[in-house]
Amino acid sequence: MTARPPLVARVVPDLPAGPPGQIYDYAVPESLQPDIGLGQRVLVPFGKRKIFGFVVELLEESAVDSLRCVELIRDPEPLVLPHQISLAQWISSHYLSPLPEVLRAMVPPALRTGRPGARPRRSKSSDRAVPPAPSRIPPELTLSPQQELALAPIRRAIMWSRAEEFLLFGVTGSGKTEVYLEAIKTALGQGKGAIVLIPEISLTPQTVARFSIHFPDRVAVLHSALTPAERGREWRRVRAGEVDVVVGSRSAIFAPMPNIGVVVVDEEDSSSYKQYDRVPRYQAVEVARRLGRILSVPVVLGSATPRLETYHQALHGNAITMLRLPTRYGNRPLPPVTVVDLRDELARGNRSPFSSMLVESVGEALEHSGQVILFLNRRGVSSVVLCRTCGEALGCPNCSVSLTLHASAHLCTCHYCGHQLRLPDRCPSCDGRILRALGAGTERVEAEARSLWPEARILRMDRDTVMHRDAHREIYQAFAERRADLLIGTQMVAKGWDLPGVRLVGIVNADIALHFPDFRASEKTFSLLTQVAGRAGRGDEPARVILQTYSPDHPAVLRAVEHDYEGFASTELEARRQLRFPPFTRMVVLTRSAAIEERARTDCEGEAARLRPLGAAVGVEVLGPSPAFIPKLRSLYRWQISLRGAKLEGIREHLPIGRGWAVDIDPG
């Protein structure tokens, strides 16, 4: 019998890791060679201990002379598919993230830590992520001519397995979801599956319910609000081919679907697609685009307010094809927007969050059995508690931010580290007695709404009210089924919800993010205002929007009033061009965190001095260092360096990576 040729497994440790690219070679014993495969985890010696690692490549020889041996194959079935290995390697290289961390992010913890081959416990019926399908017959979709035109090139790309990218640019209520559904039907008809990303977990109940009607018993859900057992169960259903449509937030792009036919990213402009608070720091929209190229499948990016980078590429035919839905489905009009200048309200002595016009309009809508959404992208009762004697605000001892007052037990809370302080009787700085709460949040808006409209059934949706596992679904269903009249919410209610009963949307304060020191501030504000205004007028009854602002003449506000994305984009892109901001350049932000501020500052200064000549040689500008926007976070001081240039490839290999440094590629 002929002996098998030697086999080498390239293994990535299943451990938290430092720099990218940690791959080690191991010899595969002859007894394990028939069973070993890409994506499996194996037990290997690592220093003086034994660890599990992912097999990412199989070779006949190694550049290393003396190899230690693989000892055990832990998982009979690969946890990571071959195309996911390619995707993980791209993420590691592009975002400068350790490959072990990327692979770990692709597999639910319950599957990485459980016994070999063990299945997670079966969830109780009340814990099911996807409700069982009603004997209900899926409704026939009747597409408008505009929708048919948009669908045609997507359908061709699916049928011919082409790696094309599309921007489905449609106003709010134009019927983008119907195009997604028909595209997915085409993929399923080809024996393939679909991944659908949604920006907010709050959209999951509506999206899953709608998709489950059209694809009964074929939909899985993957997002961070599931229990570990649920995530493991849904992951296994996808991996086993029991379902072929995956709906979820950004991590759903890592669904182990063996035969993908189309990838959809709804509301592609949402900032929630960027993972910035932990490694790997990636932009799920860009990861979806790369996945499409790896698999040669189309990717559909949908939005009424696309990212300017995406719009710019589509406008100039650069890799992305523009597909337009310029009017609402059924030719319903976009709701008229009335602007209220809050400076005039203050001049009249009105210190309530509600202008007189908004109060009157809410009353009228409720009187005529219409539903109302009040939007304010700030939680709590007040955003700051100020001493009127010395002027100091109650601050977090761990972070450079003010504490937010919450009604519950009169607690002041840091929304970054969770530090809490009971509202003191006296100022901690000067012992003054007069503390004043400023800046309304959703809790205060709710309290005043209950006082003004005591008969109204009122709900609130923000992070404080969706703490328990079914809260998103319960709030959405109550409002969708007309068991509530008035919904107060943050950005959770701004996108995607299709609620025909909404007669009025009130934007309580349009300015919260408008003046942040962020080059994307205008874009984010315009997008949020346009999206939340788009929740009104989706039924047959007339609807309107009232937008309250201290900056009525700001271009983002003026264009949002007109629902004019392209006018806003034209002006903003020209400003970006002149100021050399994306999409005309690319950026990297390097953040150094340390327990001692001087250490963070001096390390940044040293790196900036080292990088400047390297950057100059390849056309990359080094800006800073400077304190981060939040200079102290979770007891660590933070300093930053920003890099800007048309191309970053020439300097990437020189960037500081390791303990204490965070690298944010293409921030935003």
What mean pLDDT comes out for the span 482-510? 90
- Residue 336: pLDDT band (50, 70, 90) is very high
- Residue 164: name the closest of 94, 263, 245, 235 by CA: 263
**C-alpha to C-alpha distance for 215 and 229, rounded to whole angstroms:** 24
Going by their DSSP bridges, the two strands 260-265 and 193-197 should be labelled as parallel
Strand pairing partners for 623?
Answer: 642
**C-alpha to C-alpha distance for 231 and 128, rounded to whole angstroms:** 10
- Residue holding tokens 């328990």? 468
- Residue 37: pLDDT band (50, 70, 90) is very high
pLDDT over 50 at 115, yes or no: no
Q: Which CA distances in Å does 607 have to 466, 559, 660? A: 42, 41, 13
In percent, the amount of the chain with pLDDT more than 70 equals 94
426 close to 387: Cβ distance less than 8 angstroms? no
**C-alpha to C-alpha distance for 579 and 599, rounded to whole angstroms:** 32
433 close to 426: Cβ distance less than 8 angstroms? yes
DSSP 3-state assignment of 379?
A: coil
> Residue by residue, what is the 3-state secondary structure of 302-366?
EECCCCHHHHHHHHCCCCEEEEEECCCHHHCCCCCEEEEEHHHHHHCCCCCCCCHHHHHHHHHHH
Strand pairing partners for 53?
Answer: 13, 42
- Residue 460: name the closest of 527, 402, 378 by CA: 378
DSSP 3-state assignment of 4?
A: coil
DSSP 3-state assignment of 219?
A: strand
What mean pLDDT comes out for the span 625-634? 94
Q: How far is CA 414 from the centre of its chain?
A: 22
Contacts of 313 (CB under 8 A, 6+ apart): 167, 319, 320, 583
Q: Is the peptide bond prior to 120 cis by the omega test (within 30 degrees of 0)?
A: no
Q: 218 phi and psi, to 5 degrees? A: -120, 5
pLDDT over 90 at 325, yes or no: yes
pLDDT over 60 at 132, yes or no: no
Going by their DSSP bridges, the two strands 165-170 and 72-73 should be labelled as unpaired
Quote the CATH superfamily of domain 143-330. P-loop containing nucleotide triphosphate hydrolases (3.40.50.300)
The pLDDT value recorded for residue 118 is 43
Q: 521 phi and psi, to 5 degrees? A: -60, -45
Residue spans of the domains in the chain: they are 8-107, 143-330, 332-379+441-576, 586-665
For residue 19, give both structure tokens.
Answer: 């720099």
DSSP structural state of residue 472:
H
End-to-end CA distance of the chain: 60
Q: Which CA distances in Å does 194 have to 67, 293, 323, 389? A: 41, 15, 20, 60
CATH number of this structure's domain 586-665, picked from the four choices 1.20.1260.10, 3.30.70.330, 3.10.20.30, 3.30.70.600: 3.30.70.600
CATH number of this structure's domain 332-379+441-576, picked from the four choices 3.30.70.980, 3.40.50.1240, 3.40.630.30, 3.40.50.300: 3.40.50.300
- Residue 318: pLDDT band (50, 70, 90) is confident
The pLDDT value recorded for residue 390 is 87
CATH number of this structure's domain 8-107, picked from the four choices 3.40.1440.60, 3.10.150.10, 3.30.1490.100, 3.40.50.300: 3.40.1440.60
What mean pLDDT comes out for the span 20-34? 90
The pLDDT value recorded for residue 503 is 94
Sheet with 245-248, side-by-side order of all strands: 219-222, 245-248, 193-197, 260-265, 299-303, 165-170, 320-325
> Residue by residue, what is the 3-state secondary structure of 223-272?
CCCCCHHHHHHHHHHHHCCCCCEEEECHHHHHCCCCCEEEEEECCCCCHH
One fold for both 143-330 and 332-379+441-576? yes
The pLDDT value recorded for residue 495 is 79
Least confident of 79-93, 198-212, 231-245, 474-488: 198-212
Span 372-387, pLDDT tens digits? 999 998 888 888 888 8
- Residue 2: pLDDT band (50, 70, 90) is low
Q: What's the mean per-residue pLDDT of the chain?
A: 90
DSSP 3-state assignment of 296?
A: coil
The pLDDT value recorded for residue 662 is 94
- Residue 302: name the closest of 265, 273, 272 by CA: 265
Range list of β-strands (E), 92-192: 165-170
